[in-house]
Amino acid sequence: KMAGSSAPWIGSAYLFLQSTCKTIVLPSLYESSQKKPSVFKALKLALADSTGSVNGVDMLKVHCSHPHLIVQLKFCKQENCRRFLQSYREGALQESLQNHLQLSLAMTAVPLEMELKAGNEHLDNMLKDEDRCLECIYREKPDRLRDEEIAELEECLKSLIVHHSTNNNMAVKGSPSLPSQGGSISPQVTFIFQGQQFANRTLTPDDHQKFAKLVSKKWKQVGRSLQKNCRALRDPVIDNLALEYDREGLYEQAYQLLLRFIQSEGKKATIARLIAALEENGLISLAEELLGLHSNEDCS
């Protein structure tokens, strides 16, 4: 037996999802505050289908790593994990998720590719050996608690389901309850830069790359401006990034800095916060570039 009766059976795995349709980019949909609850709902329902229980598998975090959406899963019972593996192996999970995404997002079809990993092991290569897959998942203990964003989305989904069961009109009745977490799905709707009003949004991969390319030697100063309300960027972290990525150069150092910010802040990693940090350090040209105020793409 893999686990004695005294200790509960707990394991972890990562589910990698990618749409095979070029016009559907799952990370971009998940990064959109309007679409995120719909994508989350589809994930939750498909995982419930795979184990036969709403609590059969937990989502700890959803990572956006273009072109993949990566879902960190936690299993608390071996039989639930077996059901999940069977559903995954037979293609039922894939079909279920495609259907739920199609319904949630009101799209014609959402074709998917999936990969399943536990640690360094690609479970797709050993799916016929279920016990070996279970061992790999059991070896990987979850390294984190559930992300607070997941908890918020769970609450949103509960309120949607309550509305749905009492009213049977989910879209109309459920939507107003989505920002019930004190508006945290979009912390600040607009912000002012140089007298103009801009929509606030979570940072995109395009923002990330432009920042890394153009911030140059001032990446540390920007990091120190961001650290005022981001615990993940305390001084030792910034200094460690400088050392760790010294050989890769300024682009990689700046990229890793913003990556830490985005990973720790989730949907609160907004363009307004980055623009404020750039303004504070006199990087107006870069701020303008990120907000699309430059007519030409080449910005020195």
Cα–Cα separations (whole angstroms), residue 98 to 26, 65, 109, 161, 249: 12, 19, 7, 20, 41
Q: How confident is the model at residue 161 (pLDDT cuts 50, 70, 90)?
A: low
Q: Hey, what are 179's tokens?
A: 């920002």
What's the chain's length in residues?
A: 300
Q: What stretch(es) of the chain map to CATH 3.30.70.680?
A: 11-157
Contacts of 77 (CB under 8 A, 6+ apart): 8, 9, 56
Whether residue 182 contacts residue 267, with contact meaning beta carbons closer than 8 Å, is answered with: no
Residue 184 has pLDDT above 50, yes or no: no
Residue 98 has pLDDT above 70, yes or no: yes
Q: Hey, what are 160's tokens?
A: 């949607």
Q: How far apart are CA 26 and CA 43, in angstroms?
A: 12
Domain 11-157 has CATH 3.30.70.680: yes
Q: What stretch(es) of the chain map to CATH 1.10.533.10?
A: 190-291
Q: Stretch 266-288: mean pLDDT, rounded?
A: 92
Domain 190-291 has CATH 1.10.533.10: yes
Show the CA angle centred on residue 148, arms to residues 147 and 154, nearest 5°: 95
Q: DSSP E strands: which ranges in the chain?
A: 11-19, 58-65, 68-75, 112-118, 121-122, 190-193, 196-199
Q: How confident is the model at residue 215 (pLDDT cuts 50, 70, 90)?
A: very high
Q: How far apart are CA 138 and CA 136, in angstroms?
A: 5
pTM above threshold 0.85? no
Burial of 191 (0-12, 13-18, 19+ CB in 10 A): middle
- pLDDT tens digits, residue range 99-121? 999 988 888 889 999 999 999 99
Whether residue 94 contacts residue 3, with contact meaning beta carbons closer than 8 Å, is answered with: no
Whether residue 129 contacts residue 37, with contact meaning beta carbons closer than 8 Å, is answered with: no
Cα–Cα separations (whole angstroms), residue 239 to 219, 236, 249, 283, 292: 11, 5, 14, 21, 31
Residue 171 has pLDDT above 50, yes or no: no
Q: How confident is the model at residue 234 (pLDDT cuts 50, 70, 90)?
A: confident
Whether residue 49 contacts residue 58, with contact meaning beta carbons closer than 8 Å, is answered with: no
- pLDDT tens digits, residue range 29-71? 999 988 999 999 999 999 999 998 888 899 999 999 989 999 9
